[in-house]
Amino acid sequence: MINVGIIGFGVMGEIRYHELCKNDNINVKMIYDPQKPEKISNIEMVTSYSDILNNNDINAVFICTPIYLNAKITCESLLANKHVFCEKPPTLTSQEMIDIIDIEKKSNTKLMYGFNHRHHGSIKKIKEIVQSNVFGKILWMRGRYGKSVDSNFFKNWRSDKKQSGKGILFDQGIHMLDIFLYLANDFDLAKSFVTNSYWNLDIEDNAFVILKNTKNKITASLHSTMTQWRHLFSLEVFFEKGSMILNGLKTTSDSYGDEILAISKNRSITPKAEWIEEEKIIYKKIDFWQSEIKYFCKCILEDKKISNGNSEDALKIMKLLEKIYEDSKNE
């Protein structure tokens, strides 16, 4: 049995709580949130997250706080000898992530980050095809990820730069960047235009990014936006011998449409491009939350190294984000 404490009980904290309760080997014992949510049956609602960290019965913590708190609470949790699952973005800077890794190396606990898109069935399938090399190597990738927000967004901590760090790229586009890294391992060049074209906040509402992995000759492009009035998720991966095109994403909010993956071999006939062979897979289950949690718990219970969504993955994406934001300053 893994006894869990949840730090932060906003939208993500509640989602994590309900998903954790579905597992027989997990017991949510304590919850902390400064807003003091209503009492939950059999759960101790504490007045400080230190109460969770100082409780010897708690084995693991789920950190679901505004971004600016993530690094601090992660460090304290590791020092308290707790296994840690932290929502993304992992930190505000890559240096904070380096400091966390230094502490992690001295601890005997597991640390995982909530890059939950890796746990969607469609992304798992794309990763499987990449590793199989059945289509050869990746040539390029193109991702579009966008949503709309309304005036209520101004009341949310995500619109406050001190708490959120950055804007839509940092908050949502990070998932697409993580998928790029998951499939291509790394990118050493970045060209970007990060703009505030509509909402007039001190955080970006659009980001146009081109990335290059010079070693493997892979190019990727991303548009991350919160002026996409019709929510959109689209990922295209083109190989030497075929392609995989994912449109839609099955989420709790059901805002991005059906999650449909089209897998095609190169069988175009000129002058008319025609896909002779195409397989379509529709993913209908919302099971990525459970996949993520079960993986984290399995690593704890079997004392296995976290290899998917670990601290090195988090550091890699923080460094990439910094390259993107730095390049945009030159425009």
The pLDDT value recorded for residue 39 is 83
The pLDDT value recorded for residue 79 is 98
Torsion of CA 131, 135, 136, 142, to 10 degrees: -80
The pLDDT value recorded for residue 296 is 98
Classify burial at 69, counting beta carbons within 10 Å of its beta carbon; exposed 0-12, middle 13-18, buried 19 or more: middle
The pLDDT value recorded for residue 38 is 77
What is the residue-averaged pLDDT of the chain?
95
252, 83 in Cβ contact below 8 A? no
CA distance 228 to 226: 5
CA distance 48 to 239: 51
In the predicted model, what is the mean pLDDT of residues 38-43?
A: 85
The pLDDT value recorded for residue 268 is 63
Domain 121-249+251-284: top CATH class: alpha beta
- Please list the residue range(s) of the chain that carry CATH number 3.40.50.720: 2-116+291-306
CATH code for 2-116+291-306? 3.40.50.720
Question: In the predicted model, is pLDDT for residue 5 greater than 80?
Answer: yes
Instruction: Report percent pLDDT > 70 for the chain.
Output: 97
CA distance 70 to 63: 7
The pLDDT value recorded for residue 35 is 86
- Please list the residue range(s) of the chain that carry CATH number 3.30.360.10: 121-249+251-284
The pLDDT value recorded for residue 151 is 86
Question: In the predicted model, is pLDDT for residue 25 greater than 90?
Answer: yes
Q: Which of 177, 173, 230 is nearest to 203 (CA)?
A: 173
The pLDDT value recorded for residue 81 is 98
Question: In the predicted model, is pLDDT for residue 36 greater than 80?
Answer: no
The pLDDT tens digits of the residues spanning 183-220 come to 999 999 999 999 998 998 899 999 999 999 999 999 99
Q: What is the DSSP string of 160-211?
A: -HHHHSS-HIIIIIHHHHHHHHHHH----EEEEEEE--SS--SS-SEEEEEE
The pLDDT value recorded for residue 274 is 66
| Structure letter (DSSP) for residue 50 | H
The pLDDT tens digits of the residues spanning 131-173 come to 999 999 999 999 999 999 988 898 899 999 999 999 999 999 9
The pLDDT value recorded for residue 269 is 66
Q: Which amino acid type is present at position 180?
A: F
Residue 37 vs residue 20, higher pLDDT: 20
The pLDDT tens digits of the residues spanning 255-308 come to 999 999 999 988 766 666 666 678 999 999 999 999 999 999 999 999 999 999
Q: Model's pTM, two decimal places?
A: 0.95
Q: What is the DSSP string of 128-171?
A: HHHHHTTT-SEEEEEEEEEEE--GGGGGSGGG-HHHHSS-HIII
In the predicted model, what is the mean pLDDT of residues 305-329?
A: 97
